[in-house]
Structure 1
Amino acid sequence: MADERVVVIGAGVGGLVSAALLAAHGCDVTVVEAATGPGGKLRAVTVDGHAVDGGPTVFTLRGIFEEIFAACGDALGNHLILQPATILARHAWGPSRLDLFADPAANEAAIGDFAGPAEASGYRRFRAEAKRLFDALDRPFLRDTKTNPIALGLRMGARGFPDYLNLRAYISMWRALGRYFRDPRLRQLFGRYATYCGSSPFRCPATLMLIAHVEASGVWLVEGGMHRLALALEALGRGNGVRFRYNAPVREIVIENGRAAGVILANGERIGAASVVCNADPAAIGAGQFGEAARRATSTVSPGRRSLGAMVWTANANARGFPLSRHNIFFSDDYPAEFAALAAGRLAAAPSVYVCAQDRGDADAGLDGHERLQIIVNAPATGDLAPLTPAEIDTCTKAMLATASRAGLSLDLGSSAVLTTPSDFERLFPSTGGALYGPASHGWAASFRRQGSRTRIPGLYCAGGSTHPGAGVPMAALSAQLAVGCLLKDRASTSWYSRTAMPGGISTRPVRTALTG
């Protein structure tokens, strides 16, 4: 396996982790990326000379990244300064406000003060259920290769059978939340976790309540912004010999003798390889973005199955009147109407708004002058079908500011703010329509329909937030671990077959290290 040549397409989290792990296992790895630097959706946007996070902003499941850096002979702490967040997020409904904390006891007290003791008791039961679901699925589903319902039950085994029978897959998250919370504001708050994978709480299974446990297990504040994680992963790969080629879009994945054999860049250059890991959305392969020969490797995703897109403002702004924490959510008055509009392919008339105040920690004290903000409003992923008009964009901007204003937040974005629409995300990530999380997790079978690590073409693998096990930065990293495990296992099997089946004593160098998966 040593010196096995692998090309990784894309320098998002899935591609960066794949490259670093493969290099640590002795592979000769080249990463080719169309953009000017690493990160993919974990990107920074320059506003007034300041780097503002324009992608994911919440860092959870730190242990996954500790494992990755250790596997590559390094330590996460050598690259990033991380501080645990005391306040996970600040939530507002007009003038009403509720913080969620890292401390469960503090949450119970806060919820009790906000909505009464019965709701605090409901939170206690909800928290236990979210943990149960996460613990049940962590090893057999999140950390293992794509499977089907029957095989998942076998993986969970006899001891996990009671959990297997109660994965809450056939009830919607919104309906399940009603069993814990009578206060509609709390259903709205915890239903929002569905949007972490670009889905509607009214259509996704209650299984996704496990996301609440992920966040409750710890949120970390990354000094300098989340995009620093991409730089750290790039440095990790370089330390093990990974070569990075930026401004190098791929025109075609080469298929020879029925398997992946490298890539051809847009400039015509061919880079040969024994295997290819694709960190683009798998739907792009199925849509022919990487050539006709590779098209059969994956399936397309119909517009109706896409996850949410977003309107994302990145700004060096002046914020007044509301004590922002790092993560803040300003809720709409009518959650069902908001998601009904999105399902119909429209922007909500009165949207919920997320504000990441990148320069703030847990303190409520205001900052003097301007600060780096990322503001998100959910949007339909129709950037390739029905681009938003200037009038629609203007209306959405006014609605966003109005939602924030109801809670007392006054935002002056200035003239240099950058707005990224679903059409812009479609240009950055083709064949998605601007969907930021791959396919939506709607219906009990959605999680089993995601693209797995292996594709229909031998030697071609997928990694990233649009593949199994799901969306989000930690899941993208797990997908890379799974893709690397499959690649190394497949190559070890091929090598062994060659040694035993070929006549004349011809053999290959033995594989010293192989991951399972």
Structure 2
Amino acid sequence: MRTQQRVVVVGAGVGGLASALLLAHGGFDVTVVERAAGPGGKLRAGAVAGLAVDAGPTVFTMPWVFEAIFAEAGATLADWLTLKPAAVLARHAWGPGERLDLLANPDAAAGAIAAFAGPAEADGYRRFCARARSVYETLAPAFIAAQRPSLPELVRRVGPTRLGDLWRITPFRSLWSALGDHFRDPRLRQLFGRYATYCGSSPFSAPATLMLVAHVEQAGVYTVEGGMERIAHALATLAASSGARFRYGEHVDEILVARGAAGGVRLASGERIEADAVVFNGDAAALGAGLLGLAARRGAGPARPARRSLSAVTWLMAAETAGFPLSRHTVFFSGDSPREFRDLAGGRTPADPTVYVCAQDRGAVDDGAPRGPERLLCLVNAPPAGDVRDAASWEVDACEERVLTRLAASGLTIRRSAGASLATTPSDFAARYPGAGGALYGEASHGWMASFRRPASRSPIPGLYLAGGSVHPGPGLPMAAMSGRLAAQALMADRASMRLWSRAATPGGTSTASAMTAGTR
């Protein structure tokens, strides 16, 4: 007689991997189905000139999220990953001679800001840091780690004694507006406004609560020895050692729904994998668009292209650089930030883009350029229209020319040999991650209600759970991992409730769900 509960996890991104690991360790019979050849989802590497270059997330923060997941699976994060803290969080450039390093040490950072923009701006930075910490401390336990992100629940969790704190995090103002309380220098507003793009949003529309990212970064930005893909491989290996089975190179055509509940999946090959529950680790918009079957559409709200987060055009390179001292993470800012985001809102790649460069052979400590070609990821934001424009229409060569012009404004030149560059457009992202038109972060965090609109881990379909950056608590590696943990916790709690209900039922009589069961949907 079968005693294990069967779970299919659709997608081996970080959220799906976290769910698979915790469920397998908890005694569930777990099968992970992933269309790619290996784990990671957006956490991937591309091959350029024989070198592996991180092509997705490049920043590792909030290690305590991963430490908790590994600990719950009976493991220790430090035994699986080697992390090195960065002394320079990022280098920022605006033009000739305009350069500022944001340092990990807050006092040193304030000193650098004072030298760059004056002592008043350094005082503003200190006030900004205190405010960012307050936002984080208010939202971390009450919202980020909560199962159901609703305003009444947030107020309840914060409690009556801290309602003032909830008001002071100014959720009704834009990030750009709130930054004006602390910085008069427009370059510093650009620098800290960029935190909105971490979740694919505009600083002119995203809520001021996103300043919490500043506190997260001050708590530590790390490099991962061996590349970011090591995170995914560590999670997948540990999940497999706990009994999870991985089926790579297989595509799920449909999430099966029978008698109103999720009951497994059907693969493109026609094979059916029956299950007691399904965890979907893809963009929730794919569900709403019916890409996983019509019956599964009500598992997430309808896809709304107008609410999509940003996409990107990226270049992976093996190149030699000169003229500017790159750090591990360097941002070259647009000369006209309002126009940049107007272009994006209008469906255009920016005429003068902000360019992010990750120099992946530079160490966590700013130790200079390597000899010979180095591995680079260059990224500019782009509109999420990959499902309505083909790859050729993105005019990659013209976009690249604008990128090189922006880099040259600060003196940086990049020299590549033939075949040592690989471009990816929103159309490519749309093909790789269906349902979102190339949007990389689910819905944009525009307006104070945006975070409450993200789907929760429990979908409206019993037995179907959601994980990944498009669901609560949001995008980014730690948040995606947290979503997988929340999905696993919800699934295990629901199954435990069902077992309690079954044992409490009176043979031959009429059963009623317990309060615990009734409160899980």
TM-score normalized with structure 2 length: 0.95
Identity %: 56
Q: 1:453 aligns with which of 454, 457, 461?
A: 457
CA-atom RMSD in angstroms: 1.7
Q: Which of 413, 427, 430 does residue 426 from structure 1 map onto? A: 430
- C-alpha spacing 1:413/1:305, structure 2 compared with 1 (3 Å): farther
Alignment of 1:20-59 (within 5 A): 20-59=21-60
Q: Pairwise mapping of residues 109-258 of structure 1 onto structure 2 (< 5 A)?
A: 109-258=111-260
SS of 1:415's partner is strand
| Aligned counterpart, 1:511 | none
- C-alpha contact (below 8 Å) 2:344/2:383 kept by paired residues: yes
- Find the partner of 2:390 among 380, 387, 405: 387
Matched, 1:323 2:325: yes
Whole-angstrom CA distance in 2 between matches of 1:186 and 1:364: 25
Q: Which runs of structure 2 are paired with 1:360-371 in the superposition (5 Å)?
A: 360-361=362-363, 362-371=365-374
Unaligned 5+ segments in structure 1 are 508-515
- The one-character-per-residue Cα deviations of 1:32-67 (angstroms, maximum 9, x if unpaired) are 000000000001111122111000000000111111
Q: What's the CA shift string for 1:246-266, capped at 9, x where partnerless?
A: 001101111111101111111
Displacement of 1:82: 1.0
Secondary structure of the 1:130 match is helix
Contact 1:381 1:422 in 2 (8 A): yes
Does the 8 Å CA contact 1:13/1:40 hold for their aligned counterparts? yes
Pick one of 291, 296, 299 that aligns with 1:297: 299
Aligned residues: 509
Q: CA deviation at 1:414?
A: 3.3
CA contact (8 A) 1:254 1:294 kept: yes
d(CA) in 1 for partners of 2:370, 2:167:
50
Asked whether the 8 Å contact 2:88–2:366 carries over to 1, the reply is no
Aligned counterpart for 2:309 among listed residues 294, 307, 310: 307
Shift of 1:300: 2.4
Q: Distance in 2 between matches of 1:94 and 1:382?
A: 31
Counterparts of 2:232 and 2:70 in 1: how far apart (Å)?
Answer: 13
In the other structure, the counterpart of 2:84 is 83
SS in structure 2 at match of 1:170: coil
In structure 2, stretches of 5+ residues that fail to align are 512-519
Check if 1:374 corresponds to 2:400: no
Aligned to 1:498: 502
Q: Answer yes or no: is the 8 Å Cα contact 1:323–1:364 preserved in 2.
A: no
| Deviation at residue 502 of structure 1 after TM alignment | 5.0
The Cα shift of 1:491 comes to 1.1
CA positional deviation for 1:223: 1.0
Is this contact kept in 2: 1:32–1:245, CA < 8 A? yes
What does residue 414 of structure 1 align with? 417
Shift of 1:131: 0.4
Of stretches 86-95 and 145-154 in structure 1, the one that deviates more from structure 2 is 145-154
Between the aligned partners of 1:309 and 1:114, the Cα distance in structure 2 is 32
Structure 1 range deviating more: 104-113 or 361-370 = 361-370
Task: Give me the whole-angstrom Cα distance separating, in 2, the residues matched to 1:313 and 1:342.
Answer: 19
**In structure 1, C-alpha distance between the alignment counterparts of 2:339 and 2:471, rounded to whole Å:** 30
CA distance in 2, matches of 1:414, 1:93: 27
The answer to whether the Cα contact below 8 Å between 2:9 and 2:30 also exists between their aligned partners in 1 is yes
Cα distance in 1, alignment partners of residues 85 and 244 from structure 2: 31
CA distance in 1, matches of 2:62, 2:101: 21
Question: In 1, distance between residues paired with 2:143 and 2:162?
Answer: 12
Structure 1 distance, partners of 2:313, 2:200, is: 13
Task: Note the alpha carbon deviations across 1:150-169, whole angstroms, 9 max, x for none.
Answer: 22101111232111222311
Partner of 1:72: 73
Please point out which of 481, 488, 496 is paired with 1:484. Answer: 488
Runs of 4+ in 1 over 6 A off after TM superposition: none
Q: Which amino acid aligns with 2:196?
A: A
Q: Secondary structure of the residue that 1:180 maps to in structure 2?
A: coil
